[in-house]
């Protein structure tokens, strides 16, 4: 299944990196996969919380906002994003990325994805996971990493812009 795309989606290198704590991935995947209506999978959405430090976006936690969803779309309203942003600020964090799923293998932003991200800002990241969240979260494995550059969304061409930091136990450094 291909996404609805009438406008050009440039593919360019990321400006900076998206570094994600490994502990954020299981609740992200679980929340996205839990999105369903009448026992049918639907697209899901999670907000990633963290800090932007120079050209690095560091993801430390996730928020699971109230969404409305149906086959082929997921929507989060301003109030739900505001609630997530307030919770993030209480811990010195902000909403720094959005993650959502698509029904098929096509993980490019659709035209609707470009328009519906609330309050995009320069260098913000958006990650799309295939197969209702069953696909890989890594761009090298098929996830679509996007970034807001120069007032528009682009698909990130370099997979090394996405880094997962593993849990290190027992002095593993």
Domains and CATH numbers, the chain: 18-165 (3.40.140.10)
- What pLDDT was estimated at residue 94? 95
- What pLDDT was estimated at residue 154? 96
pLDDT tens digits, 86-100: 999 999 999 999 998
Residue 128 pLDDT grade (very low, low, confident, very high; cuts 50, 70, 90): very high
E strands, the chain, are 11-12, 17-21, 36-37, 40-41, 45-53, 56-63, 67-70, 73-76, 94-101, 125-129, 144-149, 152-156, 162-165
DSSP summary character for residue 135: S
Task: Name every residue whose Cβ is closer than 8 Å to that of residue 8 and which is 6 or more positions away in sequence.
Answer: none
Average pLDDT over residues 126-151: 95
Share the mean pLDDT of the chain: 89
**Pairwise CA distance, residues 142 & 83, whole Å:** 31
Residue 172 pLDDT grade (very low, low, confident, very high; cuts 50, 70, 90): low
Percent residues over pLDDT 70 in the chain: 92
């Amino acid at each position: 299944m291909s996404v609805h795309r009438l406008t050009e989606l440039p593919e360019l290198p990321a400006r900076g990196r998206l570094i994600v704590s490994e502990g954020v991935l299981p609740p992200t995947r679980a929340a996205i996969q839990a999105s369903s209506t009448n026992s049918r999978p639907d697209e899901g959405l999670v907000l990633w919380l963290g800090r932007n430090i120079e050209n690095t976006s560091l993801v430390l936690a996730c928020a699971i906002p109230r969404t409305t969803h149906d086959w082929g779309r997921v929507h989060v309203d301003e109030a739900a994003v505001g609630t997530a942003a307030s919770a993030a600020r209480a811990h010195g964090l902000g909403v720094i990325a959005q993650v959502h799923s698509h029904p098929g293998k096509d993980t490019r932003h659709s035209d609707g994805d470009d328009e519906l991200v609330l309050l995009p800002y320069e260098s913000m990241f958006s990650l799309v996971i295939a197969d209702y969240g069953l696909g890989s979260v890594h761009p090298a494995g098929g996830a679509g990493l996007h970034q807001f550059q120069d007032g528009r969304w682009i698909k990130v061409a370099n997979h090394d812009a996405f880094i997962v930091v593993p849990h290190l136990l027992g002095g593993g450094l």
